Amino acid sequence: MAEAAVKAQPAAEAEQELTDGFHLIIDALKLNGLTTIYGVPGIPITDFGRMAQAEGIRVLSFRHEQNAGYAAAIAGFLTKKPGVCLTVSAPGFLNGLTALAHATTNCFPMILISGSSEREVVDLQQGDYEEMDQLAIAKPLCKAAFRVLHAADIGIGLARAIRAAVSGRPGGVYLDLPAKLFGQVMNADAGAKSLVKVVDAAPAQIPAPDAVKRALDVLKAAKRPLIILGKGAAYAQADEAIKAFVEKSGVPFLPMSMAKGLLPDTHPQCAGAARSTVLKDADTVMLIGARLNWLLSHGKGKAWGEAPKKFIQVDIEPKEMDSNVEIAAPLVGDIGSCVSALLGAMGLWPAPPADWVNTVKTKREENVAKMAPRLMNNNVPMDYHGALGVLRTIIKERPDAILVNEGANTLDLARGVIDMYKPRKRLDVGTWGVMGIGMGQAIAAAVETGKPVLAVEGDSAFGFSGMEVETICRYKLPVCVVIFNNNGIYRGTDVNKTSADPATTVFVAGARYDKMMEAFGGVGVNATSPDELKRAVNEAMDSGKPTLINAVIDPAAGSESGRIGNLNPQSALKKK
Ligand SMILES: Cc1ncc(C[n+]2csc(CCOP(=O)(O)OP(=O)(O)O)c2C)c(N)n1
Ligand SMILES: [Mg+2]
């Protein structure tokens, strides 16, 4: 009977070309230039990954979704296009969600695409395979969340996701794709027509001329001005305009961690090595793509000293203004447009008062001179400074390399010691100070830029994403991981006096992380002195071979929580 019905159909209709959800998603991604996916396969997205690869999308399979998510997030930061992370339902989705929330907090454009289970079953809570209302869970943790139920809506769904991720203040977007959608069939022509190529996904947001004038008036009237560059300024890819503006202003500048290198850390106006002085003593502070969050002590309190301050803030998000302190001159718009407008309206610009500029310069030179001998020490076991002195020289000689950095002491000291020379070359833990970004960022940095990557990792920090060294070996990526192995979190010296269990902050002493890399065919090196470390890193950077160097650091060298020990709550009872 059924056979007869098929036979009876007119030939044209029976042979009409069909497409399906799988192909429409792939076509929609490609149409919008999203040609790299970071993810972990499984039901219901395994075939989708295979087909995407076959259709020319680069699909990088990870060992854990969180690392794929961090890779996608930093790909967004590096490229201004949403980084795409692909996961399975419930547990895979949740594993990716941390990275989506991280992307949103850090203002990185990212799209988390997760397969999900049958809506009818999920909504009646009948216990489907990996049942979870993923859309509802994602919503409060990202900028926008969408679900596509019909193949004909895939084009619109992806367009909405892209726009939400990159326009205004960028952030994370969740796209929920139920299993049934992938196999849904529709006419190929109608399918092609349903796709949307997003035009001008992140439109320029031009600042108001009077706001530009106000900002310049406040800056010009300053006796002790300071410019703080945040990672929003790095994201903007307005490098030339930012450099021209800072240089024309003559104002000392302080780069936040991921803004290092927008102007070289060795630039005569850089106040990085005089941070506490400039924060305390400046009378006017211009924030460019930097927020007054905890990383800047909320713009008030001890770190900011007694001197009254005026703030100028350049940010794309109007709600950022007055979030922590009063902003005397808010300048709302995208960083590129704002900085160009400032530059265009400056006219003849007077140099800032010489006594201020000289004070900053003297302080910086003093601090740099104080640090210099520590960075040249050849102690064995190595301390942080001896090891970082070597890495500092290597980055100086290889300014195009990308530095990934996480840990506590390993992070805080490396940030201060290793000078950066070019924009977007330093990637790290970001706003949350999250451990676990390391291998995901290293992989995405290598994939997106094709440049060699040096990942400087605390031994604890590395552990959060360490299994991805297999991914690095599998894709033969030019990544050199240096683990600052001090046997633990902050220090390797804690002792538990109450039971046979080790203290909560220590790891197996003398662990050989280099063996992990060897297990997957990469190069492993155990380095016990600055000289050995230098040789091994240079070799890795020259060869481009996946390498892991276990840098043996004195377990007593670090301090609790690195530079942010003051944030630890104290128990009054402890003092008894
Ligand atoms: C996801 C996450 N979990 C836990 C922490 C708390 N934490 C901060 S730094 C750190 C590890 C510090 O040790 P290590 O990476 O070895 O650096 P070291 O200070 O020893 O150089 C941890 C666990 C965090 N920041 N993020
Ligand atoms: Mg450690």
* Site to substitute for ligand 1 among 295, 487, 489, most atoms within 8 A of C-beta: 489
Question: How buried is residue 419: exposed, middle or buried, by Cβ count under 10 Å (0-12/13-18/19+)?
Answer: buried
Residue in 88, 95, 76, 92 with CA at minimum distance from that of residue 173? 76
Ligand 1 centre to CA of 554 (Å) is: 17
Task: Please calculate the CA angle 491-492-494 and round it to the nearest 5 degrees.
Answer: 90
Residue in 518, 565, 571 with CA at minimum distance from that of residue 545? 518
**How far is it, in rounded angstroms, from Cα 123 to Cα 106?**
32
Residue in 196, 139, 134 with CA at minimum distance from that of residue 173? 139
Other CB atoms within 10 Å distance of the CB of residue 35: 15
Report the pLDDT value the prediction gives residue 5, as an integer from 0 to 100: 46
CB of 486 within 6 A of ligand 1: the answer is: yes
pLDDT lower than 70: segments of the chain: 1-14, 574-576
Decide: helix, strand or coil at residue 521. coil
Q: Which residues pair with 285 in a beta bridge?
A: 226, 311
| Backbone φ, ψ for residue 543 (5° rounding) | -80, -25
CB of 458 within 6 A of ligand 1: the answer is: yes
The closest residue, in CA terms, to atom 4 on ligand 1 is: 435
Contact 285, 228 (CB under 8 A): yes
Report the pLDDT value the prediction gives residue 2, as an integer from 0 to 100: 46
Ligand 2 centre to CA of 139 (Å) is: 35
Task: Please calculate the CA angle 244-248-253 and round it to the nearest 5 degrees.
Answer: 80
Residue in 183, 130, 237 with CA at minimum distance from that of residue 20? 183
Q: Which two tokens stand for residue 222?
A: 């300053």
Decide: helix, strand or coil at residue 291. coil
Report the pLDDT value the prediction gives residue 60, as an integer from 0 to 100: 98
Ligand 2 centre to CA of 460 (Å) is: 5
Ligand 2 centre to CA of 273 (Å) is: 24
Question: How buried is residue 491: exposed, middle or buried, by Cβ count under 10 Å (0-12/13-18/19+)?
Answer: buried
CB of 460 within 6 A of ligand 1: the answer is: yes
**How far is it, in rounded angstroms, from Cα 162 to Cα 331?**
26
**How far is it, in rounded angstroms, from Cα 522 to Cα 398?**
22
Report the pLDDT value the prediction gives residue 514, as an integer from 0 to 100: 98
| Backbone φ, ψ for residue 174 (5° rounding) | -105, 135
Ligand 1 centre to CA of 355 (Å) is: 41
Ligand 1 centre to CA of 559 (Å) is: 12
Ligand 2 centre to CA of 518 (Å) is: 21
CB of 463 within 6 A of ligand 1: the answer is: no
Going by the DSSP 8-state scheme, the letter that residue 445 receives in this structure is: H
Asked whether the CA dihedral 178, 182, 184, 190 is positive or negative, the reply is positive
Report the pLDDT value the prediction gives residue 15, as an integer from 0 to 100: 74
Name the residue type at position 35: T
Alpha-carbon separation of residue 247 from 130, 141, 244, 352, 547 (angstroms): 56, 39, 5, 11, 39
CB of 60 within 6 A of ligand 1: the answer is: no
The closest residue, in CA terms, to atom 8 on ligand 1 is: 408
CB of 82 within 6 A of ligand 1: the answer is: no
Cα 357 versus chain centre, distance? 32
Packing angle of the helix pair 209-220, 335-345 (nearest 10 deg): 60
Report the pLDDT value the prediction gives residue 23, as an integer from 0 to 100: 98
Atom of ligand 1 nearest to the CA of 463: 15
Contacts of 382 (CB under 8 A, 6+ apart): 528, 529, 530, 533, 551, 552, 553, 554
